[in-house]
Each structure stands twice: as C-alpha cells, then as structure tokens.
Structure 1
Amino acid sequence: MLNKNNLFLLLLIFIPVSLGAKFMHWEDLIIFITAGLAILPLAAWMGTATEEIAVVVGPSLGGLLNATFGNATELIIAIIALRAGLVNVVKASITGSIISNLLLVMGLSMFLGGLRYKEQTFQPVAARMNSAAMNLAVIAILVPTAVDATSVGIGEQTLQNLSLAVAIILILVYALTLFFSMKTHSYLYDVGVAGSEELESETEHKPNLWLWFGVLLACTLLVALESELLVDSLESATSQLKLTALFTGVIIVPIIGNAAEHATAVTVAIKDKMDLSLSVAVGSSMQIALFVAPVLVIAGYFFHQPMDLDFNPFELVAVAVSVLIANTISSDGKSNWLEGILLLATYAVLGFAFYFHPIIDGIG
C-alpha cells in the first residue's frame, strides 16, 4: 500500500509538467501523455478523499457519496470531450469503461486472487442483481441502435429524443438500485461493507472532514484542467501514435480514468476480499451504464451535441459479449484463477479487434 501511495505522489510531478508543456507549446503527443499521467494520481486522491469523508458522514450518506463520485474522473473527461464535439470518443469511452471493468479488472482480480487462494467466494445474490442491471444496460443501448438499423431515414433528433427517454429510465433505475443496496436489502451487501471497514481500520485515524472536502474539490478542479489538456491534444496525439479514436476511447481513456479504482479492486482481491473487489469492478460498470451514460446523453442535449445511445454495432457486440461472460462466470458466487484468465483473454481479443477495426463514422 505504501508503494502505491509513493507512486501516486511521484506522478503528481506531471501536473506542473503538463501545464508547462501546454504553456510552452510542446508537441500534442507530450501534452497528451503528461496530462494522462497527471490524471492518475488525482483520480486516486479523489477516491481516497471520498472514502475518508464517507467514514465521517456515515454509511448511508457515505454510500451515496461513493456512488456519486465513483466515476467522477471519467465523467469529467467525457463531458469535456462532449463539449469539444468528440461524441464518438465519448461513446467509445462508455463502451471501454464497461468492458474494462467487467473483463480487465474482474479478470485480474480473479486471476491474482486465485493464485493465492484455490477458490474465492462472494455473495451470489448480489452478483445476480448486478448481472440483471448490466443486462438492462445492454438493452438500453441495443434498442436505440436497433431502431436506427431497422428504420429508413430516421432523424438524428428522433434518436436523441428516444435516448433521452431511455436515459431518464436508467437514472431512475440507478437511484432504485442505490435504495435497494443501502436500505431495503442492505444485508446482501454487508460482506462488502465489512471488508471496506476492515481496510479502513488497518490505519486507525479520525479523518478531518473539511481537509478532505478541500482535497476533493482541489482534485476535481485539477482533473477538469488536465482533462482539457488531454482532450485538446487527443486527436493530434492519436494521429501521431497511429491509433484510431475508437481504440483510444475504448482502451486508453478508461484506463487513465479508472487506474486507481482498478488498483484497489485487484489489491483487495489479493487479500481474499472478493466481495469488495467485485463491488468495485461491477459497481463501476453499473454506474457507467446506469448513471454516467444517461448523464452524458442529457448533457449532450444542453450542449447541442448529438449524443445518443445509438452505438456502433461492434461496440454493442463488445458490451454484450462482456456482460454475457462476466455474468456466466460470477453467477455461482465462486471464482478461481482460470476464470480470471478467461476474462482477460476475452478483453485481449476485443482489444485487438478494436485496434484493427477500420476508421468508421469519421473518427480516427
């Protein structure tokens, strides 16, 4: 844990470096890389600040705070990209966030945890509820895509209106899942909460509420600033790297936005706290699908950007495949290292597919 903290402290140096690179008009590729590296520790500190505040305000409000700020970094990056008109990159980042959490993070957690423990267990009932919620996410992006594919001459505004209606339904469902997990059926999630409290008790302290509020605010503002640098340099940098915007949105952006959260999920899995690990990985995917994506659709409406839930068919296939294999593996409430390998192999196959996918819809 100390090594991870030291690494994040070291990466803070890239905040002034990225700002200096922008001020001195260095190459966009350098700005892109340094801004991405600067976001990593800021995302970690945002997560730490949220957890520390949650300790003070209690489990109910703390759970809501975690649910709200869980993917704040990605949401900030996506909103700035949306304002810049990079709608296809935003859609790709939504796809990438879902598949990276379900395949890369869950796969690494099960694999590394499975190397230390022959078999790890977690709450199957909670896993099934999460599976059902992810199935809804697939339906939510399948329907607008299917309507577009099966209609002749359907207007962009019509698709956006349909997506807005679906977005409102998803946000309502997300609110109900929070109510379910924190109130009416909180006992199903007690193991994950207990694991979280045990981690907190390893370093006994009384958090300073206002200090951590200040840290959260400062990190949020800095993430917004670094995201501006990242988005402004994205197209030029990806062109220099010979990467399509599709690959960048699906693979690179989610890793930058979620690196700290990914590290937490893997770390607790190695400590045999698979319930907590899956709550981080699957919970993050749920939040992206049921909260972040709908918020971006609504934001697109106000920004006058054509953000809707009509995804590229290949992105839809990737999400559906990821949800299918993740649900299949997690349905029995047990995991081992081989199941982790299966998830990682699926992620690798999809990653290569996105890398070799030709430029589409004017992105790349």
Structure 2
Amino acid sequence: MGSVEMRSTEDKVDLDSDEEIPFSSSHSAIKMQSTDCETSRITSPRHLSHRWVLRKINHISPLRSIYVVLIKAKINMLLPFGPLAILLHYLTGKQGWVFFFSLVGITPLAERLGYATEQLAFYTGSTVGGLLNATFGNATEMIISMYALKNGMIRVVQQSLLGSVLSNMLLVLGCAFFCGGIVHRQKDQEFNKATALVNSGLLLMAVMGLLFPAVLHFTHTELHSGKSELALSRFSSCIMLVAYASYLFFQLRSHRNLYDIIDSTSSSCAIQKPQTIFQWVNFSAVLQEQDNNAEDSNEAPEINQWEAIGWLAILTLWISILSGYLVDAIQGASDTLNLPMAFISVILLPIVGNAAEHASAIMFAMKDKLDITLGVAIGSSTQISMFVIPFCVVVGWFMGQRMDLNFQLFETATLFITVLVVAFMLQEGTSNYFKGLMLILCYLIVAASFFVHVDISNDDN
C-alpha cells in the first residue's frame, strides 16, 4: 500500500511549473515500444501471413531468397508465360501467340528486377539507390533495343524508346498524380520544383537533339545527302552523353542536397522528450503515428546485398532470353494481329518495360512522397532520352548500323508536345487528381494516333 502511495506521489505533476517533466514508468514503457520502429514494423499484423513460412526456411538463406523474390509477390503468377512462349516458338511457330506470351512473361520479370534494385538500394544509400532504380528499371528497354539493333530493326529501337519516354511522362506520371490526388483529395500534393525543372530542361535538350536531324532530313538541306544527318546524330549523341554524365555529377556530388528526397521526419525513429504538459497530452498519439509510419514505410531489406546482386544478374539474363523471342515475333505478330508496327513498338512494348516504374510511382504518390514519384517517372524518361537513345546510336555506330536521331516528324512532334505539356504541369510544384487525369487522357490520344499511323522508313521522301 505504501509503494502505491509513493508511485502516485512521484507521478503528480505541477501544472503551474515550467520545469522538465520526468518520464514515468508507463511512459517509459511506451517509449521502449516506440523507439524501435523496425521491431514494430516486423511485428505488424500484415506481415504475419508469410512470417510462418519465412521462419521455417530462414535457416536456409537461398530458399528464403527464392521465396521472397519468386513466390511471395502475386505478379509471379505470370512467370510461367515466359517458358510457354519459348515452347510455342519451337512447337507451333505461331508468332502472334509467341509475342503475346513473351510480352506477358517479361512483365513480372521487369517488376521483380525493380524489386531487386530497391533491395540493393538499402545498402547503397538513397541517391545511388535512386540512380540504380532508374538504370535497372530501364534495363528491359535497353535489352530489347540491343536485340532489335543487332537484327537491323532500327525503327523498332527508335519507336520503343520513344514509347518508353511517352509512357513514363504521360501514363505513369498521370496515374501517380491521379491516384495520389484521390487519396489526398483534401489538398494539393507538393514536390521539389527545382529538381523537376532540371529534368524538364534535360528533356527539352533531348527534344532538340532529335528535332534537328529530322528537320534536316525532311527539308532536304543536308550538305552531304545521306551522310550529314547520320554524322549530326552521332555528334549530338556524344554531346548528350556528356550532358548526362554532367547531370550525374550534379546529382551525386555538387548538388546532392537537392536530391535528398527521403524526408528525415518520416524516416527517423527518434522520439523527443516532452517538455510541457501539452506535449504530454498528445505524446501517446504521436508515438502511435510514428509506429504507423514505420509500418507503412517498409524500411527493412528482405534479402541481403549479395542476394540482390545475384537476382539482378539472373533476372537480367532471363529478360535477355525472352527479349530475343519477343523481337523475333514482332513482325509476325503485326501481321497476325493486324496491328501497326508503330502501335506495337510505341504502346505495347513500353507498357511491359515500365511495369516496375508504374507500380512504384503510384505507391509513392499514394503515400504522399511525390519527390520519389518524380524521380521514378521523370527520372526514367530523362535517362532514356539523354543516355539510352544516344547510347544506342553509338552502339549502332560500332555495329555498322545506321542508327540515328531522326525519329521522323510525327514521332518527334509527339515527343516535343509531350515534354511541353509535362513541363507545364510541373512548373507550379503541385499536383492533384485533375492534372493526373489530363495526362492519362493525353496518353490515350497518343495511343490512338499511333494506332492509325502509317510508319514511313528513313529512305522514303
């Protein structure tokens, strides 16, 4: 009885005093439960569904890694379509079905490639991790482009890369803005306007690099007919690669603070000691909110660093194999399905390659982390425009292929208008569901335009 009275005496608080209020035993217990955000996240109810399986195979690390990467995600139900496409290629020879099953089979591989990159980003830091995410997120497009370029399918390379840029800027960003605006419809979501303007400037520079060779070709003003256009494309590609390397230095070294997109208030697990009675009143609510944020942030890696690197290599190899069958079946699929090659290259192929970006951009937008969403969507478009396209021109140069930056007037005009629309949407530094809806509707107009577009080869006037 005496101990109870002593405890009640110690817990009394002088409301008129400004002195620091010590922690009681109950609040100390709350603090012990809340400061370790990682422990709270692991023991959350939504993680209990697969913890039993993980506990059974936890002592065998390779089995646990296989379960996490190849079994746990629902999208892995599409993995058997890849081997099925290879079987159809050798057993039936029906290119339409081979193309369709290859397209479906690559989709989960692209998503899992993005997942492995995100896991590796836990060990490399946020800035390098974001760069890795954008690079391996575009690995599918690069692999398909290399196979098509090797087979001399230059127009497929140009249109698939163009479609990736259009898909990221209109469809991916539009869906992210729309879903984020619906979830947070009571306010306009905000993002770092400075970094968005830098990416918009790089995209306009990419449009300049693609515009001049096309204008030079269609105005018949080449100094050396058939040679000046190609020489200008190769020179511009080298300049664009230098610009992209300078952008990496700007992003990773000189102005790294602009790209520190992880909010320290949401990722930090530190809890400050209350100083006044008003802070004590809301203290338990603050702790509960931080626990919920820790559960939602999913800040613990599920596989180790070397497992992530190994899965990147395996998934990249498997995507390379399927890409070969996909590229070989494009022409047959166009004839069988009665679809224009331009529509397949610009619309269908990029949707597969952007599967990982599409899912992650929407997820971060719904969590009100638009800086990461912009880094995924616009950052990926910037990398394709300023690195992947010029890199393909240089690789084609060494292969002896006439890969150039003349994407034809229709495709170049589409890219130019798209960049202007997106730059206009980003200039205020805010987004809402209506902006997202407009970007999605713009993409539908682009898709319909390529469905009725007849492609003209570089040799036609």
Tell me, yes or no, if structure 1 residue 112 matches structure 2 residue 179: yes
- 2:207 is aligned to 138
- Find 1:41's aligned residue among 99, 103, 108: 108
Task: Pick closer, same or farther for the CA change 1:261–1:183 going to 2, 3 Å.
Answer: same
- 1:156 is aligned to 226
- Find 2:304's aligned residue among 178, 193, 208: 208
- 1:191 aligned counterpart, secondary structure: coil
Q: Per-residue deviation at 1:18?
A: 1.5
Query: How many angstroms apart in 1 are the aligned matches of 2:123 and 2:309?
Result: 11
Structure-to-structure mapping, 1:1-364, within 5 angstroms: 6-59=73-126, 61-118=128-185, 119-152=188-221, 154-192=224-262, 202-205=298-301, 207-361=303-457
Residue by residue over 1:200-225, the C-alpha shift from the partner in whole angstroms, topping out at 9 and shown as x without a partner, is 95152464222111111111111110
- Does the CA-based 8 Å contact 2:88-2:97 persist in structure 1? yes
Query: How many angstroms apart in 1 are the aligned matches of 2:90 and 2:161?
Result: 31
Query: How many angstroms apart in 2 are the aligned matches of 1:193 and 1:151?
Result: 53
- Does the CA-based 8 Å contact 1:244-1:355 persist in structure 2? yes
Q: Flag the structure with more relative contact order, 1 or 2, with Cα contacts below 8 A and sequence separation at least 6.
A: 1
AA at the equivalent of 1:295: F
Q: Per-residue deviation at 1:297?
A: 0.4
Residue by residue over 1:181-237, the C-alpha shift from the partner in whole angstroms, topping out at 9 and shown as x without a partner, is 222112212225769977995152464222111111111111110000000011011
AA at the equivalent of 1:102: M
- Does the CA-based 8 Å contact 1:56-1:207 persist in structure 2? no
Query: How many angstroms apart in 2 are the aligned matches of 1:12 and 1:220?
Result: 14
Residue by residue over 1:84-141, the C-alpha shift from the partner in whole angstroms, topping out at 9 and shown as x without a partner, is 1111111111221111111111111111111111311100111111111111011110
Normalising by the residue count of structure 2, what TM-score does the alignment of the two structures yield?
0.74
Query: How many angstroms apart in 1 are the aligned matches of 2:266 and 2:80?
Result: 30
Query: How many angstroms apart in 1 are the aligned matches of 2:392 and 2:110?
Result: 19
Unaligned runs of 5+ in 1: none
Normalising by the residue count of structure 1, what TM-score does the alignment of the two structures yield?
0.93
- 1:247 aligned counterpart, secondary structure: helix
Task: Pick closer, same or farther for the CA change 1:195–1:247 going to 2, 3 Å.
Answer: farther
Query: How many angstroms apart in 2 are the aligned matches of 1:199 and 1:84?
Result: 48
Q: CA RMSD in A?
A: 2.4
Larger Rg: 2
Query: How many angstroms apart in 2 are the aligned matches of 1:94 and 1:55?
Result: 29
- 1:308 aligned counterpart, secondary structure: coil
AA at the equivalent of 1:296: C
- The structure carrying a bigger helix percent of its residues is 1
- 1:212 aligned counterpart, secondary structure: helix
- 2:73 aligned counterpart, secondary structure: helix
Task: Pick closer, same or farther for the CA change 1:111–1:178 going to 2, 3 Å.
Answer: same
AA at the equivalent of 2:388: V
- Does the CA-based 8 Å contact 2:126-2:260 persist in structure 1? no
Query: How many angstroms apart in 2 are the aligned matches of 1:131 and 1:139?
Result: 13
Unaligned runs of 5+ in 2: 1-45, 48-70, 268-293
AA at the equivalent of 1:140: G
AA at the equivalent of 1:191: I
Query: How many angstroms apart in 2 are the aligned matches of 1:219 and 1:47?
Result: 10
- Does the CA-based 8 Å contact 1:141-1:311 persist in structure 2? yes
Task: Pick closer, same or farther for the CA change 1:89–1:37 going to 2, 3 Å.
Answer: same
Q: Per-residue deviation at 1:155?
A: 3.4
Query: How many angstroms apart in 2 are the aligned matches of 1:35 and 1:356?
Result: 25
Residue by residue over 1:4-33, the C-alpha shift from the partner in whole angstroms, topping out at 9 and shown as x without a partner, is 963321111112212211231341111101
Q: Which stretch shifts more, 141-150 or 291-300?
A: 141-150
- 1:204 aligned counterpart, secondary structure: coil
Residue by residue over 1:243-295, the C-alpha shift from the partner in whole angstroms, topping out at 9 and shown as x without a partner, is 11111111111111111211111121112111111110000100110010011
Q: Per-residue deviation at 1:156?
A: 3.2
Q: Per-residue deviation at 1:145?
A: 1.1
Query: How many angstroms apart in 2 are the aligned matches of 1:160 and 1:194?
Result: 48
Q: Which stretch shifts more, 183-192 or 210-219?
A: 183-192
Q: Percent identity?
A: 37
Q: Which stretch shifts more, 102-111 or 151-160?
A: 151-160
Query: How many angstroms apart in 1 are the aligned matches of 2:172 and 2:204?
Result: 19
- 2:61 is aligned to none
Q: Per-residue deviation at 1:75?
A: 0.4
| Residue correspondences, number | 362
Task: Pick closer, same or farther for the CA change 1:101–1:178 going to 2, 3 Å.
Answer: same
Task: Pick closer, same or farther for the CA change 1:200–1:184 going to 2, 3 Å.
Answer: farther
